[in-house]
Amino acid sequence: MTLLAWSIVLLSAGAAGWALYWYHACNRQMIQGQHALREAKRKISALEDEYLQKETQWQSTEEKLRGYLQLLDVLINTIPNPIYYKDQEGVFQGCNAVFAESILGLTRDRIIGRRAQEMTEQIPPDLAAAYLRQEMNALHKGSSLTHEAAVQCADGQRRDYLFTLAPIKSRQGAAIGSVSVLADLTEKNKAARVRLQKEKLEGVLETAGGVCHEFNQPLQALSGYLEILAVKIQSESSGMALIQKALDQVQRMGDTTAKLQRITHYETMEYFDKSKIIDIHKSSL
């Protein structure tokens, strides 16, 4: 075999070796790539499973939170007392149906997000200022407080309410709002006023009875003495005139004691130095 032929054989053998080497190298790389692809798919699948698990947990938590909010809404709407809550800026954040309908006469969506000072048709400015002052006191003190105040209701009537205020606090303990629960005291206060009037009337009646008892006998005696004196001095006209005037005053005093005995209720009138005394005439009507 010639040198050229050997050269061709050697070159052919070398090319085949390089080709085989590159074949094995490419095959190893392809196998490694397949392994990497499978590993990537496994990781992606694991991430997808983790995401689906977390999404399920989020949905469960969201559903629980939604159910809790629905329960809270049902609860505050079941309570017969008006309830509302505001943030630290005095903006309504929520209320129950009783407060919305009976107090303001509005739907809740027209209340939430507004200040009391903006609702002048429903809340007079003087009352809005009084409410805000007490709410700020509760936020400043960081504790519950109560106070009485007038409330203009949806029917236009002003009624007496007891406000129970409590601050709403964050996890860090900072006051971020307040909640107010109202209790109608109108009938209770009315009954208290009636009871006070009755007690005053009882005192007046006892005093009037004592005065009448002490006055009646002296008045009767004085009237009798004046009539006897009138008989004795019939001839003197000037003396008779004075006696008649005295009898008129005795009669007037008798009328007053009679009115004292007929007192049925308690009414007063202005007296000197801005003091008050019982108005006998009106109280005995």
- For the stretch 106-126, pLDDT in tens is 998 899 999 998 998 899 998
Distance CA 205, CA 261 (A): 8
The total of other beta-carbon atoms located within 10 Å of residue 187's CB is 10
Residue 135 near residue 180 (C-beta atoms within 8 A):
yes
Q: Architecture of 80-184 per CATH?
A: 2-Layer Sandwich (3.30)
Q: What residue ranges do the domains of the chain occupy?
A: 1-78, 80-184, 190-283
pTM: 0.55
Q: What size, in residues, is the chain?
A: 285
**Residue 250 tokens, joined:** 């005795």
| Higher per-residue confidence, 17 vs 244 | 244
Q: What is the number of alpha carbons within 13 Å of residue 171 lying toward its C-beta?
A: 0
Residues 153-166 have pLDDT tens digits of: 999 899 999 999 99
Is the pLDDT score of 283 beyond 70? no
